[in-house]
Copies of this chain bind each other. A is one copy, B any other.
Amino acid sequence: MGKLLIVGTVAFDEIETPFGKTDKILGGAATFIGLAASQFDVDSAIVSVVGDDLPQEYLDLLKNRNIDLSGLEVVKGGKTFYWKGKYRNDLNSRDTLVTELNTLADFNPVVPDSFKDAEVVMLGNLHPSIQMSVIEQMRADPKLIVLDTMNFWMDNALEELNRVIEHIDVIAINDEEARQLTGEYSLVKAAEEIQKMGPRFVVIKKGEHGALLFHGEKVFFAPALPLEEVFDPTGAGDTFAGGFAGYLAATGSISFGNLKNAVIHGSNLASFCVERFGTERMQDLQRKEVNQRLHQFKTLTQFDIELS
């Protein structure tokens, strides 16, 4: 069992999809990452900040999953980061209606001493200077640092972001972000360019079209499971990242073969996440269901052509 350090938001989300809407519910990158990683045998910890308006039951939900919250700062009288968004009819695009940074605006991350030797660090989508601070607090070089980020930081904090990218091993971004970061339309070329910037592994997430893993000349592709219904895409990317990083922390190997498996595990968990609002599906997800769906992934992609 390895240690996984997670940095990211713990938040209130308010979501509207064509299928319904929620009140303020539990959300945030670190939340989804932590829940996904808890499907594996890992010791994980979340570094984040919230206000004391976040219900205790949300924190208990994470604690009960063996997630260490000693690095989660609760600001007295502070308000928790709040995001409100509405998905369009095809669920592939969404409009942000409200973003209130609140306590996140002055967040100064502190890595718990017992996780300064974590084997895997998962940097959830956040300001790159916060991600950099976490990297700098690590006592030993982690076996693997995984970065999730988004176009917002490419637009608004590119210099800091580039510095983080120099220090990481795996970047996980979507296709449009890979194109923006490199100016290359071809994802193969974009992945080549990104590897020159630092990371040895590049994961390009294509949403309902699956994910690609690049490493030197090697490429691996994991489809998204074709689902009857996608109910709410919120957190799917974070769940993917959490499954990916959690599996690697639990198994310890960072061979290309094991990263392929990690991509499959991440895709598998993300396929559950989108079935209900927010974290709802991930809260009651059983390992038996997870294993059953892995079989589906195998039959979905495996074929038997005799190769000469």
Contacts and interface: CB of A to CB of B under 8 A. Distances in A.
A278 B219 CA distance: 27
Contact of A307 (B221, B230, B298, B300): B298
Contacts of A260: 303
Interface residues of A, number: 40
Nearest to A186: B228
Contacts of A307: 291, 294-295, 298
> How many copies of this chain does one complex carry?
2
Interface stretch (A56-64, A75-83, A102-110, A206-214): A206-214
Question: Counting chain B CB atoms within 10 Å of each CB, which of A189, A301, A308 scores highest?
Answer: A301
A189 to B, nearest CB: 6
A52 to B, nearest CB: 42
Contact of A302 (B189, B223, B302): B302
Contacts of A221: 223, 226, 300-301
A90 B184 CA distance: 11
A264 B307 CA distance: 12
A97 interface: no
B219 A305 contact: no
A261 B189 contact: no
A261 B291 CA distance: 26
B298 A305 contact: yes
Contacts of A212: 226
A285 interface: no
Contact of A188 (B226, B264, B265, B295): B226
Contacts of A227: 186, 188
Contact of A223 (B223, B229, B304): B223
A220 interface: yes
A300 to B, nearest CB: 5
A197 interface: no
Contacts of A265: 305
A203 to B, nearest CB: 13
Contacts of A291: 307-308
B294 A305 contact: yes
A196 interface: no
B298 A301 contact: no
Interface string A265-308: 10000000000000000000000000100111011111111011
Contacts of A299: 218-220
A300 B219 contact: yes
Interface of A: 90, 185-189, 206, 209-210, 212, 218-223, 226-230, 257, 260-261, 264-265, 291, 294-296, 298-305, 307-308
25 contacts: A90-B185, A186-B227, A186-B229, A188-B227, A188-B228, A209-B210, A212-B226, A218-B299, A219-B226, A219-B296, A219-B300, A220-B303, A221-B223, A221-B300, A223-B223, A260-B303, A261-B303, A261-B304, A264-B303, A264-B305, A265-B305, A291-B307, A291-B308, A295-B307, A302-B302
